[in-house]
Amino acid sequence: MRTLLIAGNWKMNLLRSGAVALAEALAARYPQTPAGTELLVCPPFPYLIPVGEALRNSAVQLGAQTSYFEPPGAFTGEVANEMLVDVGCRYVIQGHSERRHVLGESDAVVNRKVRASLERGLKVILCVGELLEERQAGQTERVLDTQLETGLKDIEARAAAGVVIAYEPVWAIGTGVVATEQQAQSAHAHIRNWLAGRYNSEFAAAARILYGGSVKPENAAGLLSQPDVDGALVGGASLKADSFSGIIEAANRVLEDNS
Ligand code: PGA
């Protein structure tokens, strides 16, 4: 059965009261979700615990936005996967474009992080995506291949089953410029094809590939209707209960139409 994952990436937004209020609003709306939709929010580290408490008894799962690849130890300022598991996280995002391009994370670091998170039992949302100049130069697929190749290096199929890929064209993140449905579908199909080559066709068919970059209630249904789009990673529109819910409702409608 087709399923869709709708994930909110709150980035470095909200303070405690706003984070808890948003989580409470989502928990009230989604004590459970229709079969096929999976919900996730990824708040900033300091609010994982209160947000997790607000989400208890709801269908909304808790995730984090990154983590370090070492086990707990002398790594000032970092957060270990063990700690994320301990506070109830099921998922962690790795390789987000802001980590790559603002914080300087290399493909090799992203790979170490993905491996460490999987080893600690977290599911990983591995983000990939091209810059505007790379797209304009016709390099989108080459960039995706490199990020997939290095991001999933030394990760065999059984472990890789815990990885969700998020295709996030960098030019669409936080810009209001969303990829067209055709651009998203074509990149997603390319990624699925790459996964079939790297692993096998059953693996690729079961893999989840999310689209991220200016997803809003108004454009969600069109994107989620694409055959290779298995959900959305939502930044700005995940910061308000109404807009995040609008995207969730769009996902539910797409699944109903498909059934
Ligand atoms: P956006 O962010 O929805 O605000 O474009 C998406 C993301 O960075 O995951």
Q: Check 38, 105, 130, 168 and give the catalytic one.
A: 168
> What separation in Å is there between the alpha carbon of 123 and the centre of ligand 1?
19
- 204 with 191: CB under 8 angstroms? no
* Radius of gyration, alpha carbons of the chain: 17
Structure tokens at 88: 């109830």
Report d(CA 214, CA 212) in Å as an integer: 7
Instruction: Give Cβ neighbours of residue 44 (< 8 Å, ≥ 6 apart).
Output: 10, 11, 12, 13, 14, 19, 65
| Single-letter amino acid, residue 250 | A
Is 240 touching ligand 1 by the criterion CB < 6 Å?
no
Task: Please report the pLDDT score of residue 250 as a whole number.
Answer: 97
- 150 with 196: CB under 8 angstroms? no
Task: Please report the pLDDT score of residue 88 as a whole number.
Answer: 98
Task: Please report the pLDDT score of residue 122 as a whole number.
Answer: 98
Which residues in the chain land under pLDDT 70? Answer: none
Is 243 touching ligand 1 by the criterion CB < 6 Å?
no
Nearest CA owner, ligand 1 atom 3? 235
Is 238 touching ligand 1 by the criterion CB < 6 Å?
no
> Catalytic site residue 101?
no
Element (H, E) at 94: strand 91-94
- 86 with 62: CB under 8 angstroms? no
CA dist 205 → 1, 4, 112, 142 (Å):
11, 14, 25, 22
Going by the DSSP 8-state scheme, the letter that residue 179 receives in this structure is P
Task: Please report the pLDDT score of residue 33 as a whole number.
Answer: 82
Task: Please report the pLDDT score of residue 163 as a whole number.
Answer: 98
- Ligand 1, residue 9: give the atom nearest the CA: 9
pTM of the model: 0.98
Kindly give the pairing relationship between strand 123-128 and strand 163-167. Answer: parallel
Per-residue pLDDT reduced to its tens digit, 198-228 = 999 999 999 999 999 999 999 999 999 999 9
Task: Please report the pLDDT score of residue 1 as a whole number.
Answer: 75
Is 168 touching ligand 1 by the criterion CB < 6 Å?
yes
Report d(CA 83, CA 122) in Å as an integer: 11
Burial label for 168, CB within 10 Å (0-12, 13-18, 19+), is buried
Is 174 touching ligand 1 by the criterion CB < 6 Å?
yes
Report d(CA 90, CA 230) in Å as an integer: 18
